[in-house]
């Protein structure tokens, strides 16, 4: 079995890894938590958040565990699919690419929609072009950051984004304790209708999604031991849970059932609120490269797979069969190296430029694609967060031994449970998107 306590001399520090994982998890979903509480109630809403935290945290843990079954520093969804379910590798990467890329574009759309409400007058620019103007201004920040070859390079922007998130959280909580806003809606402890729960279910479940960057964080970590990675995951999940519950409850208890889908927009205009809206833009501005990063990796995997398929279409490729086939244990390291996907500098630059042009073109031309994003999120996010990690864990954990330990058996069947949970989440979210 690949070593669980693998340490490398170079790489990202624990602080850097924790910051990037936490920022990947905490995004725009934080602003919708009060609305989720408005439909779920204070008690049931908190229960759903804790359940989402546990399932998402376990998914991250499984990713850390199974990363040992592939060449060190090269763990990714595509490579693990090749050694577990090779026939599905490209399909899953397409879902991952579309989900992450779509989410990145949605951040640009949000910037274009929000900035004109913050700065209502731009000299020498016609009002009808304000949205395009602010999108082009955002490119001054997002384009250089999108060329980062390592996630660790984004740690400083992640720190700035987390400071913005902290301010937004303090703003919401402070207004609750000050009691300066009269409540205009009622407070519920439990949901009044199951339909309402379905409508906001995906907000809570996907709020904890950090799986898209987890493998990159593992690959770059200085200390890749399972113990250390588990500490990073626990820190990120606990901090995210505290913020989600705190902001969700404070915002809901302030406005009641009349709370806005973006809680900051519910507050009256003022200096503090204006700064809060700037913080939203700041947060999503630096969230764009964090979503762009895994999308680019998946697009490269798809490109590599298509290129390899064209080159070897007349050959029988036996290397894509499962790693565990009863072969010699000494062949494990050699087999894992077969699934390293190359990413040359030329491909990196060309792919980055093409994706950035596509992203900004779509953000400028599309006013809203919330429905499409909801469908892709229900499939792509669920695959990344629950289904794939669960399938990897069920297939790989304990597979190198004829008599796996009790703990390995527990992890194995919990992984299967995570996959079942993911399928249930997908059904609920698709129903919410199509029927509600």
Mean pLDDT of 207-226: 89
Work out the pLDDT band at 176, boundaries 50, 70, 90. very high
Q: What is the DSSP letter of 207?
A: H
Residue 415 parent element (H or E): helix 406-435
The pLDDT value recorded for residue 436 is 59
Q: How many CB atoms lie within 10 A of CB 363?
A: 25
Measured CA to CA, the distance from residue 41 to residue 173 in angstroms comes to 18
Q: How far apart are CA 425 and CA 147, in angstroms?
A: 34
Contacts of 143 (CB under 8 A, 6+ apart): 356
Looking at residue 380, what DSSP letter applies? I
Structural domains of the chain sorted by starting position, each given as residue range(s) with its CATH number in brackets: 27-308+343-435 (1.10.4160)
**Mean pLDDT, all residues of the chain:** 84
8 Å CB contact between 31 and 252:
no
* Residue in this structure with the two tokens 């200096």, named with its chain if needed: 271
Residues 124-133: tens digit of each pLDDT:
888 888 889 9
At 32 the pLDDT is 86
pLDDT of residue 404: 86
Q: What is the pLDDT of residue 150?
A: 87
Per-position b or e across 169-192, b if 16+ CB within 10 A of its CB: bebbbebbeeeeeeeeeeebeebe
Name the residue with higher pLDDT: 130 or 366.
130
Angle among Cα 285, 289, 291 to the nearest 5 degrees reads 105
Please give the model's pTM, rounded to 2 decimal places.
Answer: 0.83
Closest C-alpha among 230, 158, 168 to residue 29: 168
Distance, in Å, from the CA atom of 30 to the CA atom of 164, rounded to the nearest integer, reads 12
Q: Which tokens hold the place of 48?
A: 């759903």
Per mean pLDDT, which of 147-161, 231-245, 305-319 is the most reliable? 231-245
Describe the crossing of helices 77-84 and 271-311 by its angle, rounded to 10 degrees.
40
Which DSSP string corresponds to 301-360? HHHHHHHHHHHSTTS--GGGS-S-SS--GGGHHHHHHTTPPP--HHHHHHHHHHHHHHHH
Q: What's the pLDDT tens digit per position in 231-283?
A: 999 999 999 999 999 999 999 999 988 888 788 888 888 888 889 888 888 88
Name the one residue in this structure whose structure tokens are 């390592």: 150
Tokens at 85, concatenated:
């379910």
């Amino acid at each position: 079995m690949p070593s669980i306590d693998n340490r490398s001399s170079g790489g990202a520090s624990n602080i850097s890894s924790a910051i990037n994982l936490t920022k990947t998890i905490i995004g725009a979903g934080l602003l919708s938590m009060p609305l989720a509480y408005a439909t779920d109630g204070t008690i049931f809403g908190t229960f759903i958040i804790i359940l989402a935290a546990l399932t998402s945290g376990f998914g991250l843990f499984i990713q850390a565990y199974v990363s040992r079954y592939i060449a060190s520093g090269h763990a990714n969804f595509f490579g693990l699919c090749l050694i577990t379910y090779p026939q599905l590798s490209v399909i899953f990467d397409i879902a991952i690419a579309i989900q992450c890329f779509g989410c990145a574009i949605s951040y640009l759309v949000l910037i274009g929609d929000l900035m004109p409400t913050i700065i209502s007058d731009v000299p020498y620019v016609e009002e009808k072009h304000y949205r395009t103007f602010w999108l082009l201004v955002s490119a001054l920040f997002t384009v250089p950051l999108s060329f980062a070859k390592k996630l660790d390079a984004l740690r400083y922007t992640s720190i700035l984004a987390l400071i913005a998130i902290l301010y937004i959280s303090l703003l919401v909580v402070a207004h609750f304790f000050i009691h300066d806003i009269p409540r205009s809606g009622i407070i519920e402890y439990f949901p009044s209708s199951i339909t309402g729960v379905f409508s906001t279910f995906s907000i809570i479940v996907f709020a904890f999604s950090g799986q898209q960057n987890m493998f990159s964080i593992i690959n770059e970590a200085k200390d890749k031991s399972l113990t250390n990675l588990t500490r990073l995951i626990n820190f990120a999940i606990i901090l995210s849970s505290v913020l989600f519950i705190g902001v969700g409850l404070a915002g809901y208890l302030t406005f009641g059932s009349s709370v806005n889908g973006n809680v900051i927009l519910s507050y009256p205009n003022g200096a503090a609120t204006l700064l809060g809206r700037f913080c939203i833009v700041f947060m999503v501005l630096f969230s764009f490269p964090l979503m762009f990063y895994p999308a680019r990796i998946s697009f490269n995997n798809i490109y590599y797979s298509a290129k390899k398929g064209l080159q070897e279409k007349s050959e029988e490729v036996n290397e894509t069969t499962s790693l565990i086939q009863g072969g010699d244990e000494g062949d494990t390291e050699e087999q894992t190296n077969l699934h390293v996907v190359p990413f040359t500098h030329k491909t990196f630059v060309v792919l980055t430029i093409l994706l950035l042009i596509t992203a900004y073109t779509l953000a400028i031309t599309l006013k809203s694609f919330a429905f499409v994003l909801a469908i892709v999120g229900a499939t792509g996010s669920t695959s990344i967060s629950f289904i794939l990690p669960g399938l990897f864990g069920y297939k790989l954990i304990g597979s190198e031994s004829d008599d796996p330990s009790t703990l390995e058996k527990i992890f194995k069947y919990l992984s299967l449970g995570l996959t079942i949970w993911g399928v249930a989440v997908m059904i609920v979210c698709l129903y919410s998107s199509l029927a509600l």
